[in-house]
Structure 1
């Protein structure tokens, strides 16, 4: 389908500063290049997810940590620091925030329409992009219409049209061109223009065939990323490319396997590839935080197996940047030195995010109508709730704000796992209260009344942009997970009155409630684990009467638990819960899953099912504090004997629970 491809003209790579003769602040490669050398600066954006503007539509407020309009200002400044520069993108453009949903579900795309993401990108002079896994979320026809509006080419070497793979990857009937070769002019150290041929190849995670099976089954297939790279890169070199750049919408993992999701490390090992642009994981490379201690991964220099590589965050938070010093060897160019960095659009000052760049006003103006339409969309109801959603009692009783998250996670994963080896394994769901007062104040609670739910209300239910994960664990590990959660409660002495219930050093986001099992918490026992996950009282058993399907849980039985990337990756230091237990990494955020669930159900019933409670301690009472509006919901809390106990400090209200 020819409308997907765009002819690449012979364009100069000369950047603004060099073209005007302004050599101030030039990169050392530009300043020191000899007559037979040239500096090429390659800038990357990745995982924009329709975040063209610095606005969080879920929270319905501006956000200084995101937005291509901010990254654009970085791009413009960086171009001026190099003799030669080019801009590429690494995929995941079309889905991920309510603007994307508005275009896909509400406005629609007709032939000839220009998607907001393309309105912004076309202003910035991109040379090429590849496909990310989220490009397929709205179907192939939608994707085709969006890509048709780009004034730059898209490439993908491992997405095959139809249902069959050829014996030789070069014989695959690809959905897009596997690569492009850009014929360019580059200015060398003497100031003379020289021709250069730059090959760009792209890859998408093969797992799209699982994540978007409904949209893709029978229409396309995927091939292993590294296999495709090894097949096509030699052809790119045979076709005369001086250097080869890989746009790998795939993260960094050093454990090799077939059909890897995160294969960029091994892409770097393919002979002929000179630089690797990565993404997908929403992390930053190089840097001091992510990918430490991985062999042959240099997080300081920004190399994978010695090749320069970069991952530029997500949502426009960073611009990836690789600088290449090229040297002319006869009629060919080769890389003789390289540097890599990820430049942020904001910095953290006094626990607040402070922007370091201003908006590109061209993008702001181009998207004003789309922005206003999206605001109207997120403020409009997408469904209804038949019960109020509140978190005033989330730390002391089963709670509707947690219940709806678990319902959505279970709904989502049950469909995904139904055709897998885990289809018959019991599915549980873990969720925690994020807005539960504490240090954030007496107004920091979820409170959504019966009736309409707007998309922005979802931010009240799920504050963080986590993504869904599934782990497989045993019944014994389910119990230990709950033992860790129960550490939020102080030890309570039987027979004493008005003891403080909550350990305020234990964060509420680590108080996981697991749906699908029933259990009680014996507060007379000391916490088994401390707030940091350390074993405090090995013989303690706070979790009692733990049942599945009406029977005591089988310690050796297998269970799949729906959770988020933070918990599944080891966040909170829960016993035995870490990345080794993950069986499924979803491409979708928990927020998006909740929105889809509400839309699918029309009217949700988030009433808490009371699957957990405190074990009785006759003659014992405890005190806890919550928001002032909690009084309106006391009657809803069926599992507790609870009564007002006066005013707390700073606007909180005290309540007494009779155990």
Structure 2
């Protein structure tokens, strides 16, 4: 028997910057694999953009003291939704196929090519719902495929395994670190954890198999109480580059008149969201100033990108009042989206808000103290549209599911939707500032029709935000009128898990009449909030 430590393998995400990637590939000294991204359309004969699998030949010492040859087959997979999220880059150039069907077809090929073990590097999370074609989070279905020995997953920012979770004997078994009986891990996001997978192998009848395994997550973020100490040699090697990066990110770019944090972004109109919406409106207004669309009223839709959840109790935006640096801009807007301007009607705005409101759990009068969030929906799916006022009725079930499918046709959570104090007409015309991820159908949102897109910025939105703040101090309007609020449910309260650092802003807690219930075992600050 011998042990194989797979900690050194990483999940190579597909990069939509094809020109950059092609240059990188020309000089690459490290292997890349991706099986389900092809260079032809669905109707043509596809060709792989990258090698669909790798064969890694290793010599390992066994318990018998002898060296043994082992060939590890590695298959890379990415969510097929990249073709939607990055349509502007990929359309007509690359097409993404179903991960499960791709793996089902290729695993036997990898075995036939000489692989003793097959490992999936799958940029996909765990969805316990029924398997469906072209699924975004397909780790469970992948782990159930014959011939797969282990899977290193990701994408959903989950931590797996978490031994404290009582899931023994289920398809997602934290205690045994298995998905459908297959060894697996998901190592969070943003480098917070290192996944380590030890496989004990045995050879019978000329064939290697996994006899036992041990999968663990090692916390590496400095904010974690269980953080692993940095490697001294690696720290020395990276010291100069690290300090250069810090100096660059601390470069001042402008001023903010108030603190901007997202700790309460899911229970009240949020300053950090309002800041991005204000900036998007300003930028789009300049972009269309000399066009026929300049006369249309401009609204703006954005979300709080950091709302805790799977990212943990430090996963919140918190920008202090005063000087703003590049680091703060990245905190406010962490993704490389582009600003888009789209033509939209009042009916379209209402539907947009219905899709945004699915992140909340349905509340019932006979269950007066339930969790606010639907934990199956990321908080960053909750778009707020600046320029409108409306209420969200949590007693109504969500109209759409996580993937945007209509599940409750008779249900409407959005109430009293108004523009300039008047009920919003379905036929009213607007220009909406939003981001390329939403326009391309990210989250539960519908893909915007090409004909409705009248502007796409060339620079990424974060760079435009930096330039705008440098020109004009960021000062939010003093209008206290609520852009949105929950419909009153007298006697009902909801529970919200947020960041403990909110305690440094007691006025914000008092403004929503919340009660501090203490810190949860996961490190969140739990609030009781009246509806």
Q: TM-score, normalised by structure 2?
A: 0.59
How far off is 1:429 after superposition?
A: 4.3
1:382-531 matches, cutoff 5 A:
388-390=257-259, 402-407=273-278, 428-429=301-302, 446-448=320-322, 453-458=324-329, 514-519=384-389
Q: 1:186 aligns with which of 31, 40, 60?
A: 60
CA distance in 2, matches of 1:273, 1:145: 32
Per-residue CA shift, 1:142-186, capped at 9, x if unaligned? 23444556543111111213x324777xxx321111111122222
Cα distance in 1 between the residues matched to 2:193 and 2:433: 33
The equivalent residue for 1:314 is: 189
- Residue 353 of structure 1: SS of its match in structure 2? coil
Give the 3 Å change call, closer, same or farther, for CA 251–412 of structure 1 in structure 2. Answer: farther
Counterpart Cα distance in 1 of 2:330 and 2:279: 14
Q: Secondary structure at the match of 2:481?
A: strand
Query: 1:459, 1:150 → 2: CA distance?
Result: 29
Q: What residue number does 1:608 align with?
A: 476
| Contact 1:398–1:612 under 8 Å retained in 2 | no
* 1:27-66 equivalence runs, <5 A: 37-43=1-7
CA shift at 1:593, angstroms?
8.1
CA distance in 1 between counterparts of 2:197 and 2:319 reads 44
Q: Does 1:277 align with 2:152?
A: yes
Q: Which residue of 1 aligns with 2:422?
A: 551
TM-score w.r.t. the length of structure 1 is 0.49
Residues 291, 299 of structure 1: 8 Å contact kept = yes
CA distance in 2, matches of 1:293, 1:517: 49
Q: Establish whether residue 268 from structure 1 lines up as the match of residue 143 from structure 2.
A: yes
Say what the alpha-carbon RMSD is for the aligned residues: 5.4
**How many equivalent residue pairs?**
395
1:211 corresponds to = 85
Go from structure 1 to structure 2 and tell me whether the alpha carbon gap of 1:446 and 1:477 turns closer, same or farther (over 3 Å shift): same
Structure 2 residue 35 is matched with structure 1 residue 157: yes
- State the 1:306 CA deviation: 1.3
SS for the counterpart of 2:9 is strand
On the 8 A contact 1:291/1:297 being kept in 2, the answer is: no
Deviation string, structure 1 residues 199-248 (Cα, Å, up to 9, x no partner): 11111122222222333333322111112111211111111211111111
Partner-residue secondary structure (3-state), 2:19: helix
Within 5 Å, which residues of 2 pair with 1:49-448?
87-91=8-12, 132-133=13-14, 135-136=15-16, 139-146=17-24, 151-161=29-39, 163-165=40-42, 172-254=46-128, 255-288=130-163, 296-335=171-210, 337-345=211-219, 353-354=224-225, 356-381=227-252, 388-390=257-259, 402-407=273-278, 428-429=301-302, 446-448=320-322
- How far 1:39 sits from its partner (Å)? 2.5
Q: CA-to-partner distance for each residue in 1:447-494, whole Å, 9 max, x for gaps?
A: 136xxx5312337758x99x99xx99769979999x99xxxxxxxxxx
Distance in structure 2 (CA, Å) of the matches to 1:145 and 1:229: 28
Distance 1:545 1:234 in 2: 57
Distance 1:431 1:200 in 2: 36
Aligned 8 A contact 1:408 1:593 in 2: no
Structure 2: stretches of 5+ with no match in the other structure = 288-298, 308-317, 339-347, 362-371, 373-378, 395-413, 436-442, 448-458, 484-503, 506-531
Is the 1:205–1:262 contact (alpha carbons within 8 Å) kept by the matching residues of 2? yes
Paired with 2:189 and 2:195, the residues of 1 have a C-alpha distance of 10
CA contact (8 A) 1:160 1:173 kept: yes
Question: Could you tell me whether the CA contact under 8 Å between 2:194 and 2:220 is conserved in 1?
Answer: no
Q: Determine which structure has more spread, i.e. the larger CA radius of gyration.
A: 1
- In structure 2, C-alpha distance between the alignment counterparts of 1:544 and 1:256, rounded to whole Å: 34
| Structure-2 change in CA distance of 1:306 and 1:545 (3 Å) | closer
Q: CA deviation at 1:368?
A: 3.0
Indicate conservation of the 8 Å contact 1:90/1:277, yes or no: yes
Q: Which runs of 5+ in 1 are unaligned?
A: 1-36, 44-86, 92-131, 416-425, 435-443, 485-505, 522-527, 530-542, 564-580, 586-591, 616-625, 628-659
1:248-294 per-residue CA deviation (whole Å, 9 max, x = no partner) reads 11111133222222122111122211111101122211115789699
**Secondary structure class of the residue paired with 2:104:** helix
Structure 1 pair 238–297 and aligned structure 2 pair: CA distance change class (3 A): same
| Conserved 8 A contact 1:520-1:544 | yes
Q: Quote the Cα distance in structure 2 between the aligned partners of 1:242 and 1:479.
A: 46
| Alpha-carbon spacing, 1:475–1:594, altered in 2? closer, same or farther (3 Å) | closer
> What is the rounded CA distance, in whole Å, between the counterparts of 2:355 and 2:144 in structure 1?
40
The 10-residue stretch of structure 1 (401-410 or 175-184) with the greater mean CA deviation from structure 2: 401-410
Alpha-carbon separation, structure 1, partners of 2:160 and 2:28: 27
